[in-house]
Structure 1
Amino acid sequence: MIAAGFGFRAAATTASLRDALDLARARTGAGPTLVALATAADKAGAAPLCALAQALGLPIHAVDTARLTAQHTPTRSHASQAAHGTGSVAEAAALAAAGPEARIVAPRVISGDGMATCALAEGKDP
Protein backbone atom coordinates (compact mmCIF):
# COMPACT_ATOMS: atom_id res chain seq x y z
CA MET A 1 0.00 0.00 0.00
CA ILE A 2 1.49 3.33 -1.11
CA ALA A 3 0.37 6.72 0.20
CA ALA A 4 1.46 10.02 -1.32
CA GLY A 5 1.98 12.78 1.20
CA PHE A 6 1.92 16.45 0.23
CA GLY A 7 3.06 19.73 1.65
CA PHE A 8 2.19 22.84 -0.30
CA ARG A 9 1.90 26.61 -0.24
CA ALA A 10 -1.42 28.42 -0.51
CA ALA A 11 -0.57 29.46 -4.08
CA ALA A 12 0.06 25.87 -5.23
CA THR A 13 -1.96 24.64 -8.18
CA THR A 14 -3.14 21.18 -9.15
CA ALA A 15 -0.29 21.20 -11.69
CA SER A 16 2.19 21.90 -8.85
CA LEU A 17 0.91 18.90 -6.91
CA ARG A 18 0.86 16.66 -9.98
CA ASP A 19 4.43 17.65 -10.84
CA ALA A 20 5.62 16.82 -7.32
CA LEU A 21 3.77 13.49 -7.43
CA ASP A 22 5.25 12.61 -10.81
CA LEU A 23 8.76 13.42 -9.56
CA ALA A 24 8.26 11.27 -6.45
CA ARG A 25 6.87 8.37 -8.46
CA ALA A 26 9.80 8.59 -10.89
CA ARG A 27 12.13 7.90 -7.94
CA THR A 28 10.51 4.53 -7.38
CA GLY A 29 11.08 3.28 -10.92
CA ALA A 30 7.90 1.51 -11.98
CA GLY A 31 5.62 4.02 -10.30
CA PRO A 32 3.78 2.15 -7.56
CA THR A 33 0.03 2.01 -7.34
CA LEU A 34 -1.26 4.68 -5.01
CA VAL A 35 -4.11 4.05 -2.59
CA ALA A 36 -4.40 7.50 -1.00
CA LEU A 37 -3.22 11.09 -0.90
CA ALA A 38 -2.45 12.72 2.44
CA THR A 39 -1.62 16.10 3.91
CA ALA A 40 -1.97 18.15 7.07
CA ALA A 41 -5.59 18.35 8.23
CA ASP A 42 -5.73 22.12 7.74
CA LYS A 43 -4.94 21.73 4.03
CA ALA A 44 -6.91 18.58 3.21
CA GLY A 45 -9.81 20.56 1.73
CA ALA A 46 -7.66 22.74 -0.54
CA ALA A 47 -9.11 22.91 -4.04
CA PRO A 48 -5.92 21.86 -5.88
CA LEU A 49 -5.52 18.73 -3.75
CA CYS A 50 -9.20 17.87 -4.05
CA ALA A 51 -8.96 18.25 -7.83
CA LEU A 52 -5.93 15.94 -7.98
CA ALA A 53 -7.65 13.36 -5.77
CA GLN A 54 -10.72 13.45 -7.97
CA ALA A 55 -8.64 13.09 -11.15
CA LEU A 56 -6.82 10.09 -9.67
CA GLY A 57 -9.90 8.59 -8.03
CA LEU A 58 -8.19 8.51 -4.63
CA PRO A 59 -9.24 9.49 -1.11
CA ILE A 60 -7.51 12.23 0.87
CA HIS A 61 -6.30 11.45 4.37
CA ALA A 62 -6.35 14.52 6.60
CA VAL A 63 -3.54 14.02 9.11
CA ASP A 64 -3.91 15.86 12.41
CA THR A 65 -1.02 17.68 14.06
CA ALA A 66 -0.42 15.00 16.68
CA ARG A 67 0.00 12.30 14.04
CA LEU A 68 2.19 14.55 11.87
CA THR A 69 4.56 15.40 14.68
CA ALA A 70 4.78 11.76 15.82
CA GLN A 71 6.39 10.68 12.53
CA HIS A 72 10.16 10.46 12.11
CA THR A 73 11.04 11.96 8.74
CA PRO A 74 14.34 11.60 6.88
CA THR A 75 14.13 15.21 5.71
CA ARG A 76 14.83 17.85 8.35
CA SER A 77 13.58 21.18 6.98
CA HIS A 78 14.04 23.89 9.61
CA ALA A 79 11.17 25.91 8.11
CA SER A 80 8.82 22.91 8.22
CA GLN A 81 9.92 22.06 11.75
CA ALA A 82 9.21 25.61 12.92
CA ALA A 83 5.85 25.90 11.15
CA HIS A 84 4.46 22.38 11.51
CA GLY A 85 6.51 20.54 14.12
CA THR A 86 7.89 18.03 11.63
CA GLY A 87 10.90 17.92 9.33
CA SER A 88 8.67 17.36 6.29
CA VAL A 89 4.89 17.62 6.07
CA ALA A 90 4.92 15.50 2.90
CA GLU A 91 6.90 12.66 4.49
CA ALA A 92 5.02 12.78 7.79
CA ALA A 93 1.63 12.76 6.04
CA ALA A 94 2.66 9.86 3.79
CA LEU A 95 3.92 7.82 6.76
CA ALA A 96 0.80 8.51 8.82
CA ALA A 97 -1.53 7.58 5.97
CA ALA A 98 0.39 4.39 5.10
CA GLY A 99 -0.10 3.08 8.63
CA PRO A 100 1.99 1.37 11.29
CA GLU A 101 5.44 0.21 10.23
CA ALA A 102 5.31 2.38 7.10
CA ARG A 103 8.56 3.39 5.47
CA ILE A 104 9.50 6.14 3.04
CA VAL A 105 10.07 4.80 -0.48
CA ALA A 106 10.48 8.21 -2.13
CA PRO A 107 11.75 11.04 0.08
CA ARG A 108 10.36 14.53 -0.30
CA VAL A 109 10.73 16.11 -3.71
CA ILE A 110 9.89 19.68 -4.66
CA SER A 111 7.76 20.62 -7.65
CA GLY A 112 9.42 22.58 -10.43
CA ASP A 113 7.63 25.75 -9.40
CA GLY A 114 8.65 25.31 -5.74
CA MET A 115 5.04 25.37 -4.54
CA ALA A 116 4.54 21.73 -3.51
CA THR A 117 6.39 18.78 -2.04
CA CYS A 118 5.52 15.11 -2.26
CA ALA A 119 6.83 11.95 -0.63
CA LEU A 120 5.72 8.33 -0.93
CA ALA A 121 5.43 5.85 1.93
CA GLU A 122 4.72 2.16 1.82
CA GLY A 123 2.78 0.42 4.51
CA LYS A 124 1.69 -3.14 5.05
CA ASP A 125 -1.42 -4.16 3.19
CA PRO A 126 -4.36 -4.63 5.57
Structure 2
Amino acid sequence: MIAAGVGFSSGALAEEIEVLVRLTERRAGQNAEVLAAPDFKDCAPLRAAAAALRLPLILLGRVALEAAQPHCATHSDLAGAAVGLASVAEACALAAAGAKSRLLVARLAQGRATCALAGNLP
Protein backbone atom coordinates (compact mmCIF):
# COMPACT_ATOMS: atom_id res chain seq x y z
CA MET A 1 0.00 0.00 0.00
CA ILE A 2 1.24 3.48 -0.85
CA ALA A 3 -0.17 6.31 1.25
CA ALA A 4 0.03 10.05 0.77
CA GLY A 5 -0.03 11.71 4.17
CA VAL A 6 -1.01 15.35 4.44
CA GLY A 7 -0.93 18.12 6.96
CA PHE A 8 -2.29 21.60 6.35
CA SER A 9 -3.27 24.83 8.02
CA SER A 10 -6.88 25.78 8.51
CA GLY A 11 -6.94 28.10 5.49
CA ALA A 12 -5.67 25.52 2.99
CA LEU A 13 -7.69 24.97 -0.15
CA ALA A 14 -8.49 21.60 -1.70
CA GLU A 15 -6.49 22.59 -4.78
CA GLU A 16 -3.37 23.22 -2.69
CA ILE A 17 -3.58 19.74 -1.18
CA GLU A 18 -4.29 18.12 -4.55
CA VAL A 19 -1.38 19.85 -6.32
CA LEU A 20 1.05 18.95 -3.55
CA VAL A 21 -0.01 15.29 -3.51
CA ARG A 22 0.54 15.07 -7.28
CA LEU A 23 3.96 16.73 -6.91
CA THR A 24 4.91 14.26 -4.19
CA GLU A 25 3.79 11.32 -6.33
CA ARG A 26 5.92 12.58 -9.23
CA ARG A 27 8.91 12.96 -6.93
CA ALA A 28 8.52 9.33 -5.80
CA GLY A 29 7.64 7.93 -9.21
CA GLN A 30 4.74 6.19 -7.46
CA ASN A 31 1.00 6.83 -7.20
CA ALA A 32 -0.77 6.95 -3.87
CA GLU A 33 -3.51 4.44 -3.19
CA VAL A 34 -4.96 6.35 -0.22
CA LEU A 35 -4.92 9.87 1.19
CA ALA A 36 -4.28 10.01 4.94
CA ALA A 37 -4.78 12.88 7.36
CA PRO A 38 -5.27 13.40 11.09
CA ASP A 39 -8.85 12.96 12.24
CA PHE A 40 -8.72 16.38 13.89
CA LYS A 41 -8.21 17.93 10.42
CA ASP A 42 -11.34 16.43 8.82
CA CYS A 43 -12.89 19.26 6.78
CA ALA A 44 -14.53 20.05 3.45
CA PRO A 45 -11.30 21.02 1.62
CA LEU A 46 -9.66 17.73 2.66
CA ARG A 47 -12.64 15.70 1.47
CA ALA A 48 -12.75 17.69 -1.79
CA ALA A 49 -9.04 17.02 -2.36
CA ALA A 50 -9.55 13.28 -1.80
CA ALA A 51 -12.45 13.31 -4.27
CA ALA A 52 -10.44 15.24 -6.87
CA LEU A 53 -7.52 12.83 -6.44
CA ARG A 54 -9.94 9.87 -6.58
CA LEU A 55 -8.38 8.44 -3.44
CA PRO A 56 -10.07 6.94 -0.41
CA LEU A 57 -9.56 9.11 2.67
CA ILE A 58 -8.17 7.56 5.84
CA LEU A 59 -8.49 9.64 9.01
CA LEU A 60 -5.98 8.70 11.69
CA GLY A 61 -6.25 9.16 15.45
CA ARG A 62 -3.64 10.71 17.69
CA VAL A 63 -2.45 7.34 19.05
CA ALA A 64 -1.49 6.12 15.56
CA LEU A 65 0.23 9.41 14.74
CA GLU A 66 2.18 9.42 18.00
CA ALA A 67 3.32 5.84 17.38
CA ALA A 68 4.71 6.85 13.97
CA GLN A 69 6.70 9.85 15.26
CA PRO A 70 9.97 7.93 15.90
CA HIS A 71 10.00 6.79 12.26
CA CYS A 72 9.58 10.28 10.77
CA ALA A 73 12.52 11.91 9.01
CA THR A 74 11.62 15.55 9.60
CA HIS A 75 10.35 17.47 12.59
CA SER A 76 8.59 20.81 12.68
CA ASP A 77 8.64 23.00 15.77
CA LEU A 78 5.66 24.87 14.31
CA ALA A 79 3.59 21.67 13.96
CA GLY A 80 4.69 20.56 17.41
CA ALA A 81 3.47 23.79 18.95
CA ALA A 82 0.23 23.84 16.94
CA VAL A 83 -0.94 20.22 17.22
CA GLY A 84 1.49 18.48 19.58
CA LEU A 85 3.04 16.35 16.82
CA ALA A 86 6.45 17.16 15.37
CA SER A 87 5.63 15.48 12.06
CA VAL A 88 2.09 15.31 10.69
CA ALA A 89 2.33 14.43 6.98
CA GLU A 90 5.03 11.78 7.46
CA ALA A 91 3.25 10.24 10.43
CA CYS A 92 0.00 10.06 8.46
CA ALA A 93 1.72 8.41 5.50
CA LEU A 94 3.56 5.88 7.64
CA ALA A 95 0.56 5.01 9.82
CA ALA A 96 -1.74 4.56 6.84
CA ALA A 97 0.76 2.52 4.80
CA GLY A 98 1.26 -0.04 7.55
CA ALA A 99 3.68 -1.26 10.17
CA LYS A 100 6.49 -2.25 7.77
CA SER A 101 6.25 0.85 5.58
CA ARG A 102 9.01 3.34 4.94
CA LEU A 103 9.07 6.89 3.66
CA LEU A 104 9.33 7.13 -0.11
CA VAL A 105 9.30 10.93 -0.03
CA ALA A 106 9.85 12.88 3.18
CA ARG A 107 7.71 15.91 3.90
CA LEU A 108 7.34 18.41 1.10
CA ALA A 109 5.85 21.78 1.97
CA GLN A 110 4.13 24.17 -0.38
CA GLY A 111 1.82 27.00 0.57
CA ARG A 112 -0.37 25.92 3.47
CA ALA A 113 0.07 22.16 3.05
CA THR A 114 2.62 19.41 3.58
CA CYS A 115 2.71 15.95 2.02
CA ALA A 116 4.78 12.78 2.40
CA LEU A 117 4.56 9.39 0.70
CA ALA A 118 5.11 6.05 2.42
CA GLY A 119 4.79 2.49 1.24
CA ASN A 120 5.74 -1.15 1.57
CA LEU A 121 7.99 -1.39 -1.46
CA PRO A 122 10.84 -3.94 -1.62
Same fold (TM over 0.5): yes
Contact 1:20–1:116 (Cα < 8 Å) also in 2: yes
| 2:39 alignment counterpart | 41
Using the alignment, how far apart are the partners of 1:75 and 1:17 within structure 2?
19
Equivalent residues in 2 for 1:13-92 (5 A)?
13-28=13-28, 30=29, 32-44=30-42, 46-71=43-68, 72=70, 73-92=72-91
Report % sequence identity: 41
User: Paired residues, what number?
Assistant: 119
Moved over 2 A (4+): 81-87
Contact kept in structure 1, 2:25 and 2:32, CA below 8 Å = no
Q: Aligned with 1:34: secondary structure?
A: coil
Normalised by the size of structure 2, how large is the TM-score? 0.89
Q: What amino acid sits opposite 2:39 in the alignment?
A: A
| Unmatched tracts of structure 1, length 5 or more | none
SS of the residue aligned with 1:74?
Answer: coil
Kindly state the Cα deviation for residue 47 of structure 1 after the two structures are TM-superposed.
1.0
RMSD: 1.4
Q: What code does the residue aligned with 1:13 have?
A: L
Structure with the higher fraction of residues in helix conformation: 2
Unaligned runs of 5+ in 2: none
Shift in Å, 1:21: 1.0
TM-score by length of 1: 0.86
Q: Which residue of 1 aligns with 2:115?
A: 118
